[in-house]
A and B are shown apart, each in its own frame.
Chain A
Amino acid sequence: MKILLTFLLFIQLTATAQDSTSISFSTEAVQEFKKQNLMDEYDRAFGGNRRVNNRIKVGLVDIAYERFPANLPYLSIEQKIGKKFSAMLGSIMVNRNHTAFPIGDLFKNGFSVEFSYDANLRYYFKSNEKLSGDYLSLEFKVLTRDFLSDGLIQHRNYRSYIGRHQTSVNLGKQFGSILDIGFQAGLKNVLKTKVTEEGFTYTHKKENIQFIPFIGTYSRIGIGANFPRTKKGKAESCDFLNCYNEFNNLFKINLSNSLYLDPYYGTVKFDLAYEKKLGPLPLSLEANLVASAFSEKKFKATGNYEDSEEFKGKFFTFYPEEERKNYLQLTSSLHLKYYFLQNRSILKGKSVSNLSGEYFGAFYTYKMGGENIYTDYSPYERFLKDALKSKSGLMLGIQKKILKNYFYDFGLKYDLTSKGSVFYKLSQEIKFGYAF
């Protein structure tokens, strides 16, 4: 850590010094003091009244309804209909090998993808002119598990049900092509799973199909291309200067994977962080507290392994009865971030906000409770169970403030304290939400 701080100080001190500075005073007589217009950095002087007819967007989306809340890649296309409506088609890419793949696990286990598909009919309360603003939508989503054939389940996700499709009413807000957040409530069509003598099974028979209610939050962050590409901007012809905001501290709420509840599975998460700039360096310290509650109704594991000829290797066995388990978990962490490209970004005309840009640094995490969230049904889950309560390591990431009060923070962490292969030490952290 000392070496790191010395290095950071050295980098900062290499900045060019100014030769001489002086201040002088004078007066000027004018007929009228005409005030200069100072534009807020998020106002647009040019092209602000652009019309958008359709949009293609890629990014990351919450999947709190899965057993491992995560953010997965998605692609969507939205088309304006009339003056208030739009239709949106989307697809989420899921890694079959592990739903909530830490990036290291991805390298180790490979990447076998399946897709879920969704269709949205949106009603924008004000206007769909920019495909932006508050909306009410009806969403139909085909969930991936529906494509599995009947029979034994090889997948690690031993849940009480397997989702087929879901229909929901969403109340949300779309911020241009960048962010989409909201609440949803609906019905999920699921296949009830069973534990039989053969093992853990499900079939597409009618008696196994159920409708279960659910509520939740959702958020998507992405980049998009708006069409038509031509900007019809109205010029701000009065004299103006951009007026930027410098942030020496940020209070952040991560909105990703905040809430999901259905009769079998639920997760509620409060993820708060406070980041403070340290002195004149592009250096900050962030304290992060995550309180999570999980509740899951699932088949009780017998604790025994059984050989399976069909799938090779050993698999867990279960009792046919279900049980509900509730877990609470509190994770606190400290991050020291050095925004190493900040000066370069400012000089090239990008953001001048202090707590923004690419960073590297160190982290320390301490976890309390929740040891049994990941039951020992698979080697990976056993690893999580055995993982150290406290971890520390290095990280590399990017944090940006977007729009007026929103931010995203993508980080890649390398754990120096855990034992095991490099794959288990590497993980990613994705946050986006509200910043004060």
Chain B
Amino acid sequence: MKSIFCFMLFLLGMTGLHAQTTLQVVTKSIQNKINADGLKKFSLLAEGADIELSGWNEKEIKITIQLITKNSSKETAVEDLKAMKVVQEKIGNTYFIRNYLAIQKGDSKPTSNFKAKYIIYLPKDLLLSVTNSFGDIRIKGIDANIQLNTKFCKTEIAASHSSLDLDMYFGEMDIQSQLREVKIKGDHARIIMGVHPGSLEARLTSGYFYCEPAASNQSFRIITDKGEVKLKPQNLGSFGYIVSSEHSDLNLPENFKADKKKKNYNINPDKTSKIIININYGILNIQ
């Protein structure tokens, strides 16, 4: 019996091996170094890209771009690579990069899968604007304002002391930095912020939001529809809380003396630092 079982496992394994496909991967690498003197902003407009952006103390931007096609046919992968274009240019005090897919009028669509990869080092005080879809974004060591517009992206921000302006449509965001002002517009976004000492203004539709508000003298405002919000203030008593809710589950700390039937709260009204939450059809947890 045991041997039959082993034989079947072997057959399954063989079947699995036979089901594998070998893809031909063609990678075009482009490397640049740009003098950053006079530049104030760096703008990256990407599609289907994995992006790594790191701030450094040099006065130049080092760019490595990989344009990748994958296909079972090597010839097709090479041919399709021509459709993936990248343009970069300095206009005014902004350096722009964009990758996109373009075919000639009348040509059929490529059959390969496309991917772009960016590894970029730039001065940490440069304003940063990144737009991307279907990819991963990792940002670290940036101190200026970051503008992010993402669709279906997984994003991480680390070791940065910047302010953030985020527009996220489906995706995940993990912020492991203590940022300054943060503005968020999220739709089906899962956003996890650690300790956050700056101000926050978030408009969220569906999705999940976690934050640990810290320090005083800050403004926190969250407006959400159908979202789940979890807040863990470092010092619960240092904030005033204004909560307005409709059709929502509110899980508030015991000392708030929360009443299940009550929709609106104004707790610690004398505190200057306030957390204002407007929640409809959602779940609110304050711990």
Interface residues of A (CB under 8 A from B): 15-16, 18-36, 38, 46, 235, 237, 239-249, 343-344, 346-349, 352
Contacts and interface: CB of A to CB of B under 8 A. Distances in A.
B105 A16 contact: no
Nearest to B94: A347
Contacts of A241: 47-48, 101, 114, 133-134
Contacts of B131: 349
A19 B32 contact: yes
Interface stretch (B18-26, B117-125, B241-249, B258-266): B18-26
B110 interface: yes
Contacts of B32: 16, 18-19
Given A36-B114, A235-B170, A352 B100 contact: yes
B200 to A, nearest CB: 25
27 contacts: A16-B32, A18-B32, A19-B33, A20-B30, A21-B29, A21-B30, A23-B29, A24-B26, A24-B27, A25-B74, A27-B23, A31-B19, A32-B19, A33-B71, A36-B113, A36-B114, A235-B169, A241-B101, A242-B47, A243-B102, A243-B103, A244-B102, A246-B105, A347-B88, A347-B91, A347-B97, A352-B85
B87 A346 contact: yes
Contacts of B152: 237, 239
Residue in B25, B89, B105 whose Cβ sees the most chain A Cβ within 10 Å: B105
Interface footprint category on B? 35 or more
Contacts of A18: 30-32, 88
Nearest to A25: B26
Nearest to A240: B134
Contact of A26 (B27, B28, B81, B91): B27
B22 A248 contact: no
A35 B30 contact: no
Given A16-B89, A21-B30, A244 B100 contact: yes
A347 B102 contact: no
A344 B133 CA distance: 21
Contacts of A243: 83, 101-103, 109-110
B22 A15 contact: no
Given A33-B23, A243-B109, A16 B104 contact: no
Interface in B166-222: 169-170, 188
B281 interface: no
Interface of B: 16, 19-34, 43, 45, 47-48, 70-72, 74, 81, 83, 85, 87-91, 96-98, 100-105, 109-111, 113-114, 131, 133-134, 151-152, 169-170, 188
Nearest to A352: B102
A24 B170 CA distance: 33
A32 B16 CA distance: 11
Given A21-B29, A28-B70, A344 B91 contact: yes
Contact of B104 (A28, A35, A246): A246
A46 B105 contact: no
A245 B105 contact: yes
B101 A30 contact: no
Contact of A347 (B28, B87, B133): B87
A351 B172 CA distance: 29
Contacts of A25: 24-27, 74
Given A18-B32, A243-B103, A246-B103, A343 B87 contact: yes
Given A16-B88, A32-B19, A248-B105, A23 B25 contact: no
B21 A33 contact: yes
B33 to A, nearest CB: 6
Contacts of B169: 46, 235
B118 to A, nearest CB: 14
A347 B31 CA distance: 18
Contacts of A352: 85, 100, 102
Given A235-B170, A248-B105, A348-B45, A19 B31 contact: yes
B225 to A, nearest CB: 12
B113 A35 contact: yes
A67 B12 CA distance: 82
Nearest to A243: B101
A48 to B, nearest CB: 14
A31 B21 CA distance: 6
Contacts of A29: 20-23
A138 to B, nearest CB: 39
Contacts of A34: 113
Contacts of A21: 28-31
A92 B152 CA distance: 45
A30 B33 CA distance: 35
A373 B152 CA distance: 61
List of 9 A-B pairs having minimum Cβ-Cβ separation, nearest first: A347-B96, A244-B102, A36-B113, A26-B25, A28-B23, A246-B102, A20-B31, A349-B45, A24-B27
